[in-house]
Structure 1
């Protein structure tokens, strides 16, 4: 599983700014922000028959990638 956090996926800071920067956010706003934070770009990739996993993904500056092995 490959998850990408970037400016368009799961970026809670930009989302918070779009909400008007509530300080402090209400419980409902926090719930909405947590839901949005889990909207990362997720892909499931499979290794080849030799166990080699090849990832060809262009990343924008400041993107974060999580590669997680799932069974």
Structure 2
């Protein structure tokens, strides 16, 4: 699990040198579009991974359960 969690968060570190090389090779218009799309995709993936981590952490919290009578007293059997 550790590798699957940290890999998407570390991909932007690898993408930065690749973006510099592509920016030098491509025409300015295509380079700007590619860099913008890549940044948006990396941000979305990082956000998704952080949400999954937060969800996994939230599942470990103790759950507060109430009995049916304390939740809805009007629905108790008569």
User: What TM-score range do you get, normalising by the shorter chain?
Assistant: 0.3 to 0.5
Kindly indicate which of the two structures has a greater share of residues assigned to strand: 1
TM-score normalised to the size of structure 1? 0.37
Structure with more contact order per residue of length (Cα contacts < 8 Å, sep ≥ 6): 1
Larger Rg: 2
Kindly indicate which of the two structures has a greater share of residues assigned to helix: 2
TM-score normalised to the size of structure 2? 0.35
